[in-house]
Amino acid sequence: MVIPFTLDANPIVLIDGECNFCNRTLMFILKYDRDEMFYFGSQQSKVAQNLLSKYNYKDESLTTIYLIHNGKVFTKSSAIIEIAKRLSGFPRYLSLLRFIPKPIRDWFYDLFSKYRFF
């Protein structure tokens, strides 16, 4: 039986494809994605831009990680938490960040993403 490919079947992670830290993060996710459930894409790609546009997101600064799954879009620290929930091993503990209020989590996320190239 052939299962048709649909974008909502698996979580899709969109990152800045030119950011070394982002690419290392992708490799980290792959290492702990034991069920091979994640799809990945570069935000610079046309497919990713169309997908984000479908959900009314447009971030030309490329400072945000996106997780798209089941018709929902998670950004910044919320995306990190949702990704962590689906990983195996110790990275699952990152999902405990959900107990920190979102404005505080995202403030730290924004601060880090601002200086990630330095």
Calpha distance 96→57 (Å, rounded): 26
* Predicted confidence (pLDDT) per residue in 12-41, tens digit: 999 988 888 888 999 999 999 998 999 999
Q: Kindly list the distances between the CA atom of residue 8 and the CA atoms of 11, 23, 30, in Å, as whole numbers in the listed order.
A: 7, 23, 19
pLDDT at 8 over 70: no
Kindly indicate the confidence band of residue 117, based on its pLDDT and cuts at 50, 70 and 90. Answer: low
> What is the model's pLDDT at position 21?
87
The pLDDT value given to residue 4: 43
Q: Rounded mean pLDDT of 81-99?
A: 93
